[in-house]
């Protein structure tokens, strides 16, 4: 009995890091390769998670769609950290914070109000108006 309790405790604590990652969206396109720090090599339909780094190869591009219908297209040789994603679909409110550390990207807001979005870059922070 003691061994069973110890084994269950070990399995519980070993499973915590993966369970702690909240899926915030999916990959809608990848050409030819992109990688996530949680998901590994990304493929169409793969989940993306809060606190995940997304990076593309020199010829790679990736299209991501978040739960609030926000779209993020990451260009070649780029790196973006999905810092924070909170969304309450019943109220249409939340918070999205991205950290675009290198390269190019295109960001289209989704169902949340414009003040919910923040994009950080190495040189400043972009807010969304209108």
**Percent of the chain with pLDDT strictly greater than 90:** 58
Instruction: Determine the pLDDT at residue 129.
Output: 62
pLDDT in tens, 37-55: 998 999 999 999 999 999 9
Higher local confidence (pLDDT), 128 or 56: 56
pLDDT in tens, 52-73: 999 999 999 999 999 999 999 9
Q: Where are the domains of the chain?
A: 22-127
Of 2-16, 58-72, 81-95, the one with minimum mean pLDDT is: 2-16
Looking at the DSSP bridge assignments, the partners of residue 121 are: 124
Instruction: Determine the pLDDT at residue 77.
Output: 96
Give dist(CA 54, CA 100) in Å, integer: 10
| Average pLDDT of the chain, as a whole number | 83
In DSSP notation, 14-83 reads: HHHHHHH--EEEEEEEEES-EEETTTEE--TT-EEETTEEEEE-TT-EEEEEETTS-EEEE-TT-EEEEE
Q: Is the pLDDT of residue 75 over 80?
A: yes
Q: Is the pLDDT of residue 20 over 80?
A: no
Higher local confidence (pLDDT), 43 or 10: 43
């Amino acid at each position: 009995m003691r061994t069973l309790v110890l084994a269950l405790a070990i399995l519980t604590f070993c499973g915590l890091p993966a369970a702690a990652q909240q899926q915030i969206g999916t990959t809608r396109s990848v050409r030819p390769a992109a990688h996530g720090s949680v998901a590994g090599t990304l493929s169409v339909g793969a989940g993306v998670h809060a606190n995940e780094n997304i990076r593309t190869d020199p010829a790679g591009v990736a299209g991501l769609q978040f739960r609030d219908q926000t779209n993020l297209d990451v260009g070649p040789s780029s790196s973006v950290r999905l810092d924070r994603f909170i969304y309450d679909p019943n109220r249409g409110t939340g918070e999205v914070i991205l950290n675009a550390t290198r390269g190019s990207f295109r960001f289209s807001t989704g169902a949340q109000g414009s003040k919910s979005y923040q994009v950080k870059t190495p040189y400043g922070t972009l807010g969304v108006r209108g």
